[in-house]
Amino acid sequence: MVRADDLDPDNIPWHWVAIDLRVWRLERNLSQADVARICGIDKTAVSNWESGGAKLPQKHAETLDRVWKTRGHFVRLRTLAESDHDPNWFAQFTRYERRAIVISPYAALVVHGLLQTPDYARALLVGARVVTDVEGALTERLARQEVLTREQPAELWVLVKESVLWDPIGGPSVMRAQLAHLLEMSERPNIVVRVVPRAAGAHPGIDGSFTLLQTASGEVAWSEAVGGGRLVTDPAKVREYRRRYDLLGADALSRDSTRSLIAEIMEAMHE
């Protein structure tokens, strides 16, 4: 969690929301407990909003605007923050990922990071040319995979676009090893891998990759973007991502058919 003194409202829109919430509260001589009563929530949630540890939900922004007569200030500010693509959000995403009970990604461009082999991941990092310390970034990426092998591992339900399996990232030998790894991991009791076939045509995942993360406190969504991404915490918007994921799942191959397809692609991939 970010400390209140470390907030950067000039560069991080959600920190602007946090700062304004505290300023407007203090101007009204209200405590965090008072704001909690207004919103019908626990005081801890207000503390998290003001410290940047959690994002002010849409319905509570609407409540504060109505009660404080701020003419839509918090709703507009929140909308601005929600629409911004901020690289710092990935750090927040990984914190949710570490605490996740169930992780449900749709992978539209590459194999999901939790299932990447070291050689495949390295080839991606080198090819992207966005990091200078490739080995350091690789170590961080592979460390994320511990969420699948810890004492109480997360469940991983992956939907992957078929074209991802055909792209020879790192060359045919690296890609065949990656596909073999997918097959091996798909046999684990906490991991499900299913392919969205080319035959699906236009589908709800056409806009790109995203991930749903279920934790003990609820579900959030992560939407990927070039140079950053967007962490979605508003329940209504998260439900939209859940519906998109479920529709994709309805068009996906079964687990057994997915394994058969991966094996066929491995066989067809030559040097």
Residue 201, token pair as written in the block = 């045509």
* Section 61-87 average pLDDT: 86
Q: What is the mean pLDDT of the chain?
A: 89
Residue 4 has pLDDT above 60, yes or no: no
| Domain ranges, ordered by start, for the chain | 4-83, 89-268
User: Which numeric CATH code is attached to 89-268?
Assistant: 3.30.870
Tens digit of pLDDT for each residue in 153-211?
999 999 999 999 999 999 999 999 999 999 999 999 999 999 999 887 777 777 889 99
Residues 4-83, CATH architecture: Orthogonal Bundle (1.10)
Tens digit of pLDDT for each residue in 208-232?
899 999 998 789 899 877 666 778 8
